[in-house]
Amino acid sequence: MTANPRRWWALAVLATAQFMVIMDTSIIGVALPDMQRDLGFTQEGLQWVFNAYVIAFGGLLLLGGRLADLFGARKIFSAGWVVLIAGSVVAAAATTAWVEVAGRAVQGVGGALIAPAAMTLLMMLFGHNQRELGKAMALYGAAAPAGGTAGVFLGGVIAEYLTWPWVFIIYVPIGVVTLLAVPALLPATKGGRGSVDVLGGIAATAGITLLVYAIVSENWLIALGGGALLALFLIIQRTVRSPLMPLSIWRTPGLAAANVAMTLLGAAWIPMWYFLNLYLQQVLGYGAFASGSALLPMTIAIMIFMVGITARLLGRFGAKPLIVLGLGVLAAGVAGLAFARPDGSFLTDVLPASLVAAVGMSLAYIPAMMSAMSGARPEEAGLASGIVNTTYNVGSALGLAVMTAIATSQGAAELGDLGRLTDGFQAAFVGAAVVAAAGAVLSLAFMRGKNTLPR
């Protein structure tokens, strides 16, 4: 296979897309209080600004991957940016809570088209050389957590010096520039034959949505409906000719254990990030810029470990030790945040514990991602990548819903009452720490050797 002479420039486009898609989950963080005030969100309902995106993104990733196979990855990558731009315009122009949530969901659909198509294009560009592929995967993989953490700071800058709609408007010029670069840098791809499992995609996304809503509303009949839809999804995957997720993929060594780790990693990390933003602004009284700046040390720590340390440790020790250690360190960091006080300070109540949590995230994320994909056959690499991204996002949404319910029951809805707010946020931190610790224990118990499950 002849190497594409522009492949590293193309990688820059793909990594930027990954960076932006994941940043869309975090850039809204420090702007949430302003959005709550202007759009009328309740303290409990505010999480849907985040969840609408990650549910649509996570629930439709597999469908996006299938569309990339059928219609060509470059076409779907471009289509995803068009949808993401459209959703950004709706979210920026929203004047009511439900329009904002709808815009965020449309953004998530765009992200679900972009991410799997980008992975397919990356494999096409670098599949000729395993060494180059590993380097490209490391750079592409680091773009995801970097986007998630950088979004916190950038969102703070925008919310402080502009207004919250600009956290969405920023996607319009970046999307246009990306679309203009696609014909010159990304390889043309041919589509394949087959059908699209639209019913499966709808069942999976609707089931996840109902489960999250059931947790938020404490309505267990709705939870049963969500569970039934997910069961229907599995039935569909067994019966249709071209399933989104052939169930045989789960026989891949290491896939199940890595996806459990990624689910619990998302379920611990995202609630920590969400409630730390609220603690900084609603308890410590930080403005948007100050709040984003306060989380900049986490961003720097993640980038240092992701790029300079984790990759080396992964090559020396393998995935399992890093996943177990990373989740354990994350649990310790999040547990440290549970000691935050109503009259606390950044230097004592936030900085030390948040840095520990960032190190834990950095140690676990890429090893879990690589572990999930390492055992898959080359033709299943895209599917394995879609599954692990899906489980991380689903874990994020479910974890945030559970921790929001816990926090609300302990006083997190009592705006203005610093003691009660802190009680609620502390409860969420404790819950997230327990989830991360459970992930460490399960990874230790069920991962064998460097990457694989016992069979």
* pLDDT, mean of each 10-residue run, the chain (455 residues): 76 86 79 90 87 87 84 91 96 95 94 87 77 74 70 80 90 92 84 78 90 85 94 93 88 90 94 90 88 83 80 85 96 96 93 95 88 76 80 90 91 88 96 97 84 40
Q: How far is CA 337 from CA 179, 181, 394, in A?
A: 42, 43, 24
Same domain, 218 and 326: no
- Looking at residue 192, its pLDDT comes to 66
Same domain, 135 and 13: yes
Question: For residue 323, what is the domain's CATH number?
Answer: 1.20.1250.20
Contact call for residues 357 and 272 (beta carbons, < 8 A)? yes
- Looking at residue 449, its pLDDT comes to 62
Same domain, 263 and 231: no
- Looking at residue 123, its pLDDT comes to 78
Same domain, 386 and 301: yes
User: How far apart are the C-alpha atoms of 443 and 263, rounded to whole Å?
Assistant: 12
> What DSSP line would sit under 267-328, residue for residue?
HHHHHHHHHHHHIIIIIS---HHHHHHHTHHHHHHHHIIIIIIIHHHHHHH-HHHHHHHHHH
Please tell me what DSSP assigns to residue 250.
G
Same domain, 385 and 316: yes
User: How far apart are the C-alpha atoms of 173 and 175, rounded to whole Å?
Assistant: 5
- Looking at residue 1, its pLDDT comes to 52
In which domain, by residue range, is 22 found?
1-193
Same domain, 414 and 322: yes
Helix (H, G, I), strand (E, B) or coil at 452: strand
Same domain, 348 and 421: yes
- Model-level pTM? 0.84
- Looking at residue 379, its pLDDT comes to 66
* Structure tokens belonging to residue 179: 């679309």
How many domains, in total, are found in the chain? 3
Same domain, 225 and 118: no
Same domain, 127 and 227: no
Same domain, 343 and 365: yes
Q: How far is CA 187 from CA 55, 75, 128, 379, 390, in A?
A: 30, 10, 14, 18, 26
User: How far apart are the C-alpha atoms of 351 and 295, rounded to whole Å?
Assistant: 8
- Looking at residue 145, its pLDDT comes to 63
User: How far apart are the C-alpha atoms of 358 and 337, rounded to whole Å?
Assistant: 12
- Looking at residue 453, its pLDDT comes to 37
- Looking at residue 212, its pLDDT comes to 87
Contact call for residues 145 and 101 (beta carbons, < 8 A)? no
Q: Among candidates 102, 17, 9, 115, which has minimal Cα distance to 51? A: 102
Q: Among candidates 54, 126, 112, which has minimal Cα distance to 79? A: 112
Q: How far is CA 23 from CA 17, 139, 408, in A?
A: 10, 16, 26
Same domain, 31 and 115: yes
Identify the helix (H) or strand (E) that includes residue 342: none
Contact call for residues 119 and 195 (beta carbons, < 8 A)? no
Please tell me what DSSP assigns to residue 71.
H
User: How far apart are the C-alpha atoms of 263 and 259, rounded to whole Å?
Assistant: 6
